[in-house]
Amino acid sequence: MEKFIKLTDTVVPLDAENVDTDQIIPARFLKATDKEGFGENLFRDWRYAKNGEPNEDFILNQDKYSGSILLAGNNFGCGSSREHAAWAIKAYGFKAVVSSYFADIFKGNALNNGLLPVQVSPGFLSKLFVAIEKDSEEKISIDLEEQKISIQSSGESESFDIDPYKKTCLINGYDDIDFLTSKLGAIKNFEQKRSGKETVPQETI
């Protein structure tokens, strides 16, 4: 997994709440059997008109906005568990998503792909949107070690929470599979300890 330590960049502001994973990557693009190419279809139905022409109103099609930080409204990533949503955002080139709330499964999927979900207060989120609206060149810094997000021009900042285990994984580029496969001994012990009495009847399948 790609490491994430610190990022300073311009921002793409997506001012919408409850952005669901069907908008991030519509179900018809989930037929792939690898992780490639999802970036092209990120926000497909908002980004392109039916005839395939870019929809100029949509933020990704506006030249004045660019950068590897996606700023979005409350409850980002709700809906389906499709990890394709995190892959699409990452493949497009985003490295962090900032919102005042993330849906659980999306948040986990993002963290498992080195895409940092930064949860800020609703007040700070508004400040970020205002700052970007005022100046599309405004830069934001996200420091994972310090767990701090700041607006470069004004210096205003806020700290954010992250699970300490996940933080270590991101900073070092480890993933959960490395960790879990190192625990197979303990897992086998657990299985033995509870066999005979517990919730998995041995002959179920």
Partner 1 sequence: MKKTLFDKIWDSHVVESIPNGPDILYIDKHLIHEVTSPQAFNELKERSIPVFRPEQIVATADHNTPTQDQHLPVKDLLSRKQLKELSQNCEENHITLYGLGHPYNGIVHVMAPELGITQPGMTIVCGDSHTSTHGAFGTIAFGIGTSQVTQVFASQCLLVEKPKKLRVNVNGNLKNGVLPKDVILYIISKLGTNSGTGYFCEYAGNVFEEMSMEGRMTVCNMSIEMGARGGLIAPDQTTIDYVEGREFAPKAAEFEKMKAHWATLKTDEDAEFDQEYSFEAEDIEPMITYGTNPGMGIKLTGAIPIEGNKSDAKALAYMNFKPGETLLEKPINYIFIGSCTNSRIEDFRVAASYIKGKQKAENVNALIVPGSRQVAEQIKAEGLDKIFEEAGFILRQPGCSACLAMNDDKIPEGEYCVSTSNRNFEGRQGPGSRTILASPLTTAATAISGKISDYTQNLN
Three-class HEC string of 97-118: EEECCECHHHHHHHHCCCCEEE
Radius of gyration from C-alpha coordinates of the chain: 20
Pairing of strands 157-159, 148-151: antiparallel
What minimum distance in Å lies between the beta carbon of 106 and partner 1? 8
- Strand ranges of the sheet holding 157-159, from the earlier edge strand across to the other edge: 6-9, 140-143, 148-151, 157-159
**Residue 122 · residue 103 · CB < 8 Å:** no
Using CB under 8 A as the binding rule, whether residue 184 contacts partner 1 is answered as yes
Using CB under 8 A as the binding rule, whether residue 143 contacts partner 1 is answered as no
Using CB under 8 A as the binding rule, whether residue 13 contacts partner 1 is answered as no
Nearer to partner 1, 127 or 152 (CB): 127
Nearer to partner 1, 56 or 205 (CB): 205
Using CB under 8 A as the binding rule, whether residue 135 contacts partner 1 is answered as no
Sole binder of partner 1 in the list 59, 82, 94, 170 (CB under 8 A): 82
Interatomic CA distance for residues 41 and 91, integer angstroms: 10
Nearer to partner 1, 81 or 159 (CB): 81
Output DSSP code: residue 35: S
Interatomic CA distance for residues 120 and 8, integer angstroms: 17
Using CB under 8 A as the binding rule, whether residue 175 contacts partner 1 is answered as yes
Closest to 23 measured CA to CA, from 107, 63, 82: 82
Sole binder of partner 1 in the list 10, 23, 41, 150 (CB under 8 A): 23
Under rule CB under 8 A, which residues in 44-73 are in contact with partner 1? 45, 50, 73
User: What residue ranges bind partner 1 (CB under 8 A)?
Assistant: 15-18, 20, 22-23, 26-28, 30-35, 45, 50, 73-75, 78-84, 86, 101-105, 108-109, 112-113, 163-166, 175-177, 179-181, 183-184, 186-187, 190-191, 194, 198-201, 203-205
